[in-house]
Every structure is written in C-alpha cells, then in structure tokens.
Amino acid sequence: MKDFKNKVAAITGAGSGIGRALALELSARGCHLALSDVNRAGLTETAQLVSESSSVKVTTQVVDVAKRQAVHTWAGKVAAEHGAVHLVFNNAGVALGSTIEGADYDDLEWIMNINFWGVVHGTKAFLPHLRAAGEGHIVNVSSVFGIIGVPSQGAYNATKFAVRGFTEALRQELDMDGGNISATSVHPGGIKTNIAQAARFADNMDGVLGGKSEAAGKAAFEKLFITTPGSAARTILKGVRRDARRVLIGPDAHAIDAMARLLPSQYQWLVGQGTKWAMR
C-alpha cells in the first residue's frame, strides 16, 4: 500500500502514545480513521487533535480489546460507518513488572488477554473486511521484548513473542494467498509513552529492583525510552509502504536485534547484568 489517501484505518490504543501518533500521521496523509481505546478521555482528545488538523472522517469507540465480541462488533460498525476498512493497527498494550515465580495467575491472564488476544481479536475481526475491500495491511505491534527475554518482563515477553510468531505466520499465509493483503510485525524499542507509568508492578520485584521503590523502578525503565511516538509512527507507515515483514523502531531496537542474532544464547547474561546496572 503506497498511498494512504482516502483509505480507512482502524487503530486500537489510539488514546495516547503510538496509537495517537499514528492517527495524526495518517490523517495528515488523508486517511480516514476509526479509533478505539479503553480510555474514553484519551480517545476523545485524540479525535479532537485529528479534527483540528485535518478534515478526514473520524469515528471513535471505547473498546476493551481483551473482549472478543466487543472487537468484532466494533469491526462491523467501522465497516458500516466508513464503507470499507483497509488498514488495521493492533497497537493496544499493557506492561507488567514481575518475576515469573511471583507472578499471579490473574496478572498473567490480564496481560495475555490484552497484548496477545487483543491482537488476535483485531486480526480476525477485521481480516474479512480487508478482503472485502480488495486490499489491506495488518500491523501488529510486538516489541524488542518480542526478540529478547528480559528479567522481570517474562509475562510481557511471552505476549510479545506470541504476537511476533502469530504475525509472521499470518504474513506467510497471506503471501501464499497471492492477494493484496499483507501483515507486518512491529518491534519498538524504548518509546516515550506512558506505558511504564501505567504498568502493573508485582510485590515480588525486590531481587530485580535492588531495594528501589515501584516509582523508582518505573523511572529507571523510562530512562531507556529514547524515541518519540511521532518518530515511531512515521517509521511504521514507512514500513507499510515498503511492505516490510518486520519493522524495528529506534536505534536501541536495531542494537538489540543485532545482539540477539550475533549472541543468541550469550545475550542473556549481558541483559541480566545490564538490568542490574539500570536498577542501581
């Protein structure tokens, strides 16, 4: 898909961060928008920002991507209101700081339902509408933590590795179809969003945080966020235009990907030591 003008894009997690930046970048290119988020206030603000800067059609819906029927209902509503859907950005996600041993099953199910099942729901709900439009692109946001494992991020790693595998298999199936629908797996590094502040932190992090408070731990992670959401959105759209299978965002993402390729086993020791240093 080389041109976004007069196309229709559905974006989850559009109330802030990369989702909001995608909405603004796409609207500047003449793309109509169907926006969703679980946060009504953030969603409304994004829609207002888009309306102030462009004249594209914008619809909004509060949607919990963990709920399958809610996502399917929204997809049908988007197709009815806009007449077609061409682009789907499964971007909504949450974070959880916890050791594997100490993680509650409720927290594990919570993050899996949003980060992984949310992507599955969005993909399966919208794919028939992309086929009906005759062309389309599905963008599923994984993470650099879908490339390497990291202490205290085992649950998040599990969801993002799952998104990566799911999307790579989807892309191959779409290639085999020989049609005009494609898929891309996106792996952001540290992006300046509120994901760390909004993350759940378990009470079992002493061994990782080195005695730091939860707030200090979140602040330490935020030091690693070096790329703006706007830059991330532009990189993603560039990847869609060149039909990339995988998009890495930020110099840290490229460095981590290279490390995982060059040191597929040894990187674990390096990351462990780096985590200790970051939590000083």
156 assigned to active site: yes
DSSP string, 31-91: -EEEEEES-HHHHHHHHHHHHHH----EEEEE--TT-HHHHHHHHHHHHHHHS---EEEE-
In a domain, 15, yes or no: yes
For residue 39, the one-letter residue type is N
Q: Domain range for residue 166?
A: 8-278
In a domain, 235, yes or no: yes
In a domain, 194, yes or no: yes
Which helix H or strand E contains 182, and what residues bound it?
strand 181-188
User: Do 85 and 59 meet the contact criterion of CB atoms below 8 Å apart?
Assistant: no
Q: What is the C-alpha separation between 149 and 207, in angstroms, rounded?
A: 17
In a domain, 3, yes or no: no
What pLDDT does residue 223 have?
A: 60
| Per-residue pLDDT tens digits of the chain, which is 280 residues long | 889 999 999 999 999 999 999 999 999 999 999 999 999 999 999 999 999 989 999 999 999 999 999 999 999 999 999 999 999 999 999 999 899 999 999 999 999 999 999 999 999 999 999 999 999 999 999 999 999 999 999 999 999 999 999 999 999 999 999 989 999 999 998 876 665 555 566 666 555 555 555 555 555 555 666 689 999 999 999 999 999 999 999 999 999 999 999 999 999 999 998 877 766 6
In a domain, 59, yes or no: yes
What pLDDT does residue 190 have?
A: 82
- Among residues 156, 201, 221, 267, the one annotated as catalytic is 156
State the pTM of this model: 0.90
For residue 53, give the CATH number of its domain: 3.40.50.720
Question: Could you give the number of structural domains in the chain?
Answer: 1
In a domain, 196, yes or no: yes
Residue with tokens 């030591």: 273
